[in-house]
């Protein structure tokens, strides 16, 4: 197990290492092996609060981490109403995405038996993506890796027994009202009695699909814009689905994708859209755009020179020559509310002339000194200005806006 994990980690450079730690068999073995590989590993425990013993499980996880000398962090989450399995998963992954970022590597303990069950579960649910990927990027840039997908549960149990690892058995795992448990306890034994290597066969099918997805990703630019019509009709749905996964969009339906694709050739004055779980899909001038949902403050303060990092990009204020805009103090960044003008020019028209898509104009950053609009980054600056207040020095600046997904 140790050699296997070391080999896996060598393929994924990272600055910080985390293990998603529930206290079950797979995550307990993964944490123990990770602690031998990387002394600085951190265990992330998500307390869903769904079971009467949830707090006791958290205490168990804390004690095991203390024994291993591993940093332990627990996070409570609220699980939404509806399908408990899906809502708990959504809460868990939202938490991971919130606390991890670029340079972080998160290990999950899913194993070969999980993958086989997952293929059947998603097949019965009518899902297109049958397999759990070996690795994928979370929306904020952290990487998620499942190093045990090729390891059976029997192998994990043998390792745990050899090393004296105690794990939690969730009584809910025997509840057949949950689809995954029904497959595990009722379906898999029947299949295994007929085909002894059924798990291996299902995992091979999963690997084949993942290989096809990798090929499509190789052909697609890693950007928020996609020229979908460059692909044959028969591939467009698959290309669009694979492309959307990089943005964390995993629940889009075939019906929704097909309806959107059917509108690719609509007249130019039409703006086809498809609402997704994390953003919106749009078409403009034969190009498909993914627009993530973002939450912005009304105003941000900037003391130039500086780079202000926003959820949808980076705004850089840097010193410039005589052609820059004049300002003598801190600046404010705001967003359109309607009627803005820079000098005598309407900001709305400037954004249109610059080719900024309509759905991006409301979140395009505008730079103010006090109540005076001094710059529309990359597009226009205010004429004149530069009167110094007593004791202040007027300097000239340039504002550059780099939206996320673009240089």
Q: DSSP characters for 94-118?
A: HHHHHH--TTEEEE----HHHHHHH
Q: What is the pLDDT of residues 92-121, one digit of tens each?
A: 988 998 899 889 999 999 999 999 999 998
Peptide bond into 305 cis (omega under 30): yes
Q: How many residues are recorded in the chain?
A: 407
Mean pLDDT of 179-189: 93
Q: Tell me the backbone φ, ψ of residue 323, rounded to 5 degrees.
A: -85, 0
**Distance, CA of 75 to CA of 61 (rounded, Å):** 12
Q: Tell me the backbone φ, ψ of residue 109, rounded to 5 degrees.
A: -90, 15
Domain boundaries along the sequence of the chain: 2-195, 220-292, 300-403
Judged by average pLDDT, the poorest of 67-71, 178-182, 224-228, 287-291 is 224-228
Give the other-Cβ count within 10 Å of 309's Cβ. 13
220-292 carries CATH number 1.10.287: no
CA within 13 Å, CB half, 211: 6
What pLDDT is stored for residue 392 in this prediction?
Answer: 57
Mean pLDDT of 278-287: 87
> Which percentage of the chain shows pLDDT scores above 70?
96
Return the higher-pLDDT residue of 33 and 284: 33
Q: What is the pLDDT of residues 295-309, one digit of tens each?
A: 889 999 999 999 999
Return the higher-pLDDT residue of 208 and 405: 208
Which residues lie below 8 Å from residue 73, measured CB to CB, with a gap of 6+? Answer: 42, 43, 44, 45
Mean pLDDT of the chain: 88
Mean pLDDT of 248-274: 85
Distances, alpha carbon 170 to alpha carbons 37, 76, 308, in Å: 28, 18, 46
State pTM to two decimals: 0.66
What pLDDT is stored for residue 219 in this prediction?
Answer: 78
Whether 276 and 249 have beta carbons less than 8 Å apart is answered as yes
Q: What is the CATH number of domain 2-195?
A: 3.40.50.620
Q: What is the pLDDT of residues 44-81, one digit of tens each?
A: 999 998 888 899 999 999 999 999 999 999 999 888 77
Q: Tell me the backbone φ, ψ of residue 395, rounded to 5 degrees.
A: -125, 165
Whether 270 and 160 have beta carbons less than 8 Å apart is answered as no
């Amino acid at each position: 197990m140790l050699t296997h994990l070391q080999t896996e980690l060598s393929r994924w450079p990272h600055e910080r290492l985390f293990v998603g730690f529930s206290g079950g068999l797979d995550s307990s073995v993964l944490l123990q092996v990770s602690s031998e590989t990387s002394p600085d590993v951190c265990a992330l425990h998500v307390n869903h609060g769904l079971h009467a013993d949830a707090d006791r499980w958290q205490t168990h996880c804390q004690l095991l981490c203390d024994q291993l000398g591993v940093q332990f962090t627990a996070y409570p989450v609220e699980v939404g109403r509806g399908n408990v399995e899906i809502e708990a998963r959504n809460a868990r992954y939202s938490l991971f995405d919130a606390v991890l970022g670029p340079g972080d590597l998160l290990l999950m303990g899913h194993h070969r038996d999980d993958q086989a069950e997952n293929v059947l579960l998603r097949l019965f649910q009518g899902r297109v993506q049958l397999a759990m990927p070996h690795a994928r990027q979370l929306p904020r840039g952290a990487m998620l890796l499942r190093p045990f997908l090729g390891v059976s549960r029997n192998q994990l149990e043998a390792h745990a027994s050899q090393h004296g690892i105690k794990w939690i058995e969730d009584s809910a795992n025997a509840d057949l009202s949950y689809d995954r448990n029904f497959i595990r306890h009722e379906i898999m034994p029947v299949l295994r009695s007929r085909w002894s290597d059924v798990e291996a066969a299902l995992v091979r099918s999963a690997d084949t699909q993942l290989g096809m997805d990798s090929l499509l990703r190789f052909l697609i630019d890693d950007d928020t814009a996609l020229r979908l019509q460059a692909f044959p009709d028969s591939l467009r749905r698959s290309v669009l689905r694979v492309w959307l996964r990089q943005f964390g969009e995993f629940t889009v339906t075939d019906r929704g994708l097909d309806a959107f694709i059917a509108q690719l050739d609509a007249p130019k004055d039409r703006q086809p859209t498809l609402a997704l779980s994390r953003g919106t899909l749009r078409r403009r001038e034969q190009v498909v755009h993914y627009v993530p949902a973002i939450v912005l403050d009304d105003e941000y303060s900037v003391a130039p020179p500086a780079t202000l990092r926003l959820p949808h990009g980076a705004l850089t204020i840097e010193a410039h020559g005589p052609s820059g805009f004049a300002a003598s103090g801190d600046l404010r960044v705001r967003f359109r509310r309607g009627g803005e003008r820079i000098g005598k020019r309407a900001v709305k028209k400037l954004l249109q002339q610059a080719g900024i898509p309509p759905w991006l104009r409301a979140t395009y950053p505008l730079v103010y000194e006090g109540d005076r609009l001094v710059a529309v980054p990359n597009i226009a600056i205010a004429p004149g200005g530069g009167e110094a207040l007593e004791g202040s020095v007027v300097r000239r600046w340039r504002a550059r806006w780099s939206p996320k997904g673009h240089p």
